[in-house]
Amino acid sequence: MIYTKIDFNTKTILITGGAGFIGSSLAFYFQENYPGATIVVFDKFRSGRTLSNGNLESFGHYKNLLGFNGVVISGDINDAEALKNLESSYKFDYIFHQAAISDTTVTEQDLMIQTNVNAYEELLKIAVKHKANMIYASSAATYGDSNRFEVGFESPNNVYGFSKLMMDNITKKYIKSDYGISIVGLRYFNVYGAREFYKNKTASTVIQFGHQILAGNAPKLFEGSDKILRDFVYIEDVIQANILSCNPKESGIYNVGTGKARSFQDISDIVQKEFETSYETQYIPNPFVGQYQFFTEAKIESSKEFLGYEPRFSLEDGIKGYIPEIRRIFESEVKNAK
């Protein structure tokens, strides 16, 4: 679907984290709708390296890019030489910065700040030099324990949320300096959809419940999941927000969600309905109490006003559209891994 009048066919587009969930989805959006565009994917790609929580250091996976015809560069945004090569090799019109440590359970504060905060400002310097509009991934984790989900009411309860808030603070400084480019930070709420499978344990509960059911097991939820409410947003609406951010009425930080909080129990029930199963849900203790958001609901009035964003998918619609891909991934990846 075309969301803007901009003709990207003549543009050069950088997507950091382009082998990840949202980055690869953006890469294919441009490839399918603007075949004349030059699309550069920059990603660290996964290795065997893990962090102290046991999760992979990078979730970028080549399979997210199967069928992609653009430029693919393996590199780390913390590598000054790699960024210098990007800056000198291309003249970017748009930068979609999706690369980050996005695992909220990571405790390495030094690496989190270096990757999510310091590297972002280095990319902003490239954007200013190239006169490229910057669109980057912020997060609803900035709100943490806040009861107001709008800019100015942040209360992060983990280092990931803190790092994203520091990114947003840098953005405000650059906007105030007026470098002649637009800068838009998108605070993603709980995103789900195709190409998230390779996030492993950090993939949404939608696909996790789906695969549990397809394996013949009851879905497992944290205790009290009927009272844990989040704003779940489908990947297609996240892509919409990114594309609209290429030409905002005003630079700034905007929420990307549906504006409607739903429970994890709702997800389990909807997935079971789609698969026509009726397993009795299994409940397990929540090990993340203290750094876990028990309620999120995006205020999207400013996103509508300044971006033209309008969520198109309810939770029911998004899950229904996602089911065939959940089945495909189960058959091609999960079964084969056993």
- Of 135, 57, 42, the closest CA to residue 89 belongs to 42
| Model pLDDT for residues 60-115, shown as the tens digit of each residue | 999 999 999 999 999 999 999 999 999 999 999 999 999 999 988 899 999 999 99
Q: What is the mean pLDDT of the chain?
A: 95
The three-state DSSP-derived secondary structure of 24-79 is: HHHHHHHHHHCCCCEEEEEECCCCCCECCCCCECCCCCHHHHCCCCCEEEECCCCC
Query: What residues contact residue 189 under an 8 Å CB cut-off, 6+ apart?
Result: 140, 230, 231, 232, 233, 255, 256, 257, 258, 296, 298
Residue 206 lies in a domain: yes
Pairing of the two strands 183-188 and 133-139 = parallel
160 is a catalytic site residue: yes
| Model pLDDT for residues 185-232, shown as the tens digit of each residue | 999 999 999 999 999 989 999 999 999 999 999 999 988 888 889 999
CA atoms in the 13 A half-sphere facing the CB of 284: 6
Residue 285 lies in a domain: yes
3-state secondary structure of 15: strand
Residue 4 lies in a domain: no
Number of independent structural domains in the chain: 1
The domain that contains 34 carries what CATH number?
A: 3.40.50.720
Q: pTM score, two decimals?
A: 0.96
Q: Take residue 323 and report the two structure tokens written for it.
A: 């089911």
DSSP state of 224: T
Residue 5 lies in a domain: no
Residue 164 pLDDT exceeds 90? yes
Residue 305 pLDDT exceeds 60? yes
| Model pLDDT for residues 236-262, shown as the tens digit of each residue | 999 999 999 999 999 999 999 999 999
Distance CA 34, CA 243 (A): 12
Residue 338 pLDDT exceeds 60? no
DSSP state of 100: S
Residue 42 pLDDT exceeds 90? yes
Residue 1 lies in a domain: no
Q: What percent of the chain has pLDDT over 70?
A: 98
Domain span holding position 258? 10-331
DSSP state of 139: E
Residue 279 pLDDT exceeds 60? yes
Please tell me which residue in 160, 188, 192, 322 is annotated as part of the active site: 160
| Model pLDDT for residues 101-155, shown as the tens digit of each residue | 998 889 999 999 999 999 999 999 999 999 999 999 999 999 998 999 999 999 9
Residue 264 lies in a domain: yes
Q: Which residue has the higher pLDDT, 338 or 297?
A: 297
- Of 68, 67, 65, 49, the closest CA to residue 57 belongs to 49
Which burial class, exposed, middle or buried, applies to 73 when counting CB atoms under 10 A from its CB (0-12, 13-18, 19+)?
middle
Residue 292 pLDDT exceeds 70? no
Please tell me which residue in 199, 234, 254, 322 is annotated as part of the active site: 199
Residue 167 lies in a domain: yes
- On whether the CB atoms of residues 244 and 237 are closer than 8 A, the answer is no
- Of 169, 180, 275, the closest CA to residue 218 belongs to 275
